[in-house]
Amino acid sequence: MSILLNKNSRIIVQGITGEEGLFHTTNMIKYGSVIIGGTSPGKGGEWVMNGKLPVFDSLKLAVEASGANTSVIFVPARHAADAMLEAVDAGIPLVVCITEGIPIHDMMKVKVYADQKGTRIIGPNCPGIITPGESKAGIIPGNITLPGSIGVVSRSGTLTYEMLFALKQQGLGTSTCVGIGGDPIIGTDFVQILSLFEADPHTEKIVMIGEIGGQDEERAAEFISSSMTKPVFAFIAGISSPPGKRMGHAGAIIEGSHGNAASKIANLENAGVKIGHNPEELAASLK
């Protein structure tokens, strides 16, 4: 069982003819993901992957021809917002945007429109989704995780990889891992993913990877306290960050007394969440 993505997901790659698009399409196919083609305006009618995958001029044409229900976006930042809007208009229910550097005001428009139309966007500036042993949509390496019953949700791409590998080293597997992205405006937040894991009968425990900036972790703590029955474990990056200095992600902006690591950890601990000092320690406590 999984959330969002499984072996029946039919994936279309927006930006498939670019270097990044081709590289990660190859890796997704090797992992077992069902990739049914891609889009690249002006290149419709061409074929990639040694003539195995068709290229379409538009996502609407791709969906009509293939029945795609998931999109992965590798489009450059200046065009990525339009790519997400195109996916929404084409009726794609799940859109995974890997692209970073999308202007905040562009993403605000996309999020409002996607919410109105009922499209779930993961990202942007994220590593994507992987359901071990079934499918992956994005750039998470397939060899660092095992199938299992631990749900993982993370703001940080690199820490996502470290957490998955730490779990694997302990012999622990993952039901689904979702990298939600580190930008100030993202399509899907911690609470929404936690809710999906809570409803998934094959997810028994949840790992949450957060970092300084914003208040998503504090909101997640409120939801965990009021609505979660499954145990949640967390690691919050940035406990040693110098005060007043911007760190890493565009979303790592501390707002007064909110958004710092200590505040997030305190709120999560008050909600009954087990906190680890690093992914390895967290994986060991899960075992």
User: Quick count: other Cβ atoms within 10 Å of Cβ 77?
Assistant: 14
Instruction: Find the radius of gyration of the CA atoms of the chain.
Output: 18
Instruction: Report which residue type is found at 257.
Output: S
Q: Which residues pair with 66 in a beta bridge?
A: none
Asked about 202 being catalytic, the answer comes back as: no
Residue tagged active-site, from 24, 249, 258, 277: 249
For residues 239 and 261, give the distance between their C-alpha atoms in angstroms, rounded to a whole number: 5
**Would you name the residues annotated as active-site residues?**
249
